[in-house]
Structure 1
């Protein structure tokens, strides 16, 4: 099963433009508790480098593009995100890194929980150990 899980949002277009609709627990598989976005990003720098114990996210590139690496401790997959009507689901216990930001990139993230530093795993070796422990003998 692929780590890359894309969600196509409902869109409505007419001569005035396009409206994309995202409703928590309908278009995304959780109630949206937090929204944040990144912009003014340097194309040669990377972000992310963490996983979450419980939090789930949907990453949406509202403008421009960026690449994301997803890693569940057993396999890694990379995707270029560039559509404002499509979101990438990042499930709990998936290490993620974002890179190759276009100069005009605006990356919005919908999160299932409020910010909680205790939910973050910021050390990759700790992440791998937790994945191994969860898998059991």
Structure 2
């Protein structure tokens, strides 16, 4: 397995291009597979989430995602079945975190945070693993 293949299997930060200047504003772009290691099939966003709420609390069998804080600050915690935990701070719209399948993830939102997610699949309830104990047991068998 080469380094690129290893990287795709691990969560990692993505820096989006930031185009513009303070006097006129900025734009960040994700085109094709130049940034995302997958074709985007679904885009969704969350907002008005109280700071005391932790969302996510699941893993996917197939879906890959890029999580972006388009406004505010979001703390993304990922966990592999082997127990390895990574914490990513998303605090500007030009930065996202890639979350591969088979990785448990949670998000903690700070005041006025807006999250946008680019996903590799359309929504399918059966793709979600929502029980933590089940997540740990499924992937230990593989």
Q: TM-score, normalised by structure 2?
A: 0.88
SS of match in other structure, 1:69: strand
Matched with 2:18 is 11
Question: Is contact 1:4–1:79 with CA below 8 Å preserved after alignment?
Answer: no
Q: Which runs of 5+ in 2 are unaligned?
A: 1-5
Matched with 2:95 is 86
C-alpha displacement of 1:11: 1.7
Q: Which runs of 5+ in 1 are unaligned?
A: none
Matched with 2:49 is 41
Q: Does 1:121 align with 2:129?
A: yes
SS of match in other structure, 1:51: strand
Whole-Å Cα distance in 1 between the matches of residues 61 and 35 of structure 2? 23
Question: Is contact 1:58–1:110 with CA below 8 Å preserved after alignment?
Answer: yes
Q: TM-score, normalised by structure 1?
A: 0.91
Q: 1:29 aligns with which of 20, 33, 37?
A: 37
C-alpha displacement of 1:55: 0.2
Whole-Å Cα distance in 1 between the matches of residues 32 and 15 of structure 2? 14
Whole-Å Cα distance in 1 between the matches of residues 40 and 11 of structure 2? 20
SS of match in other structure, 1:104: coil
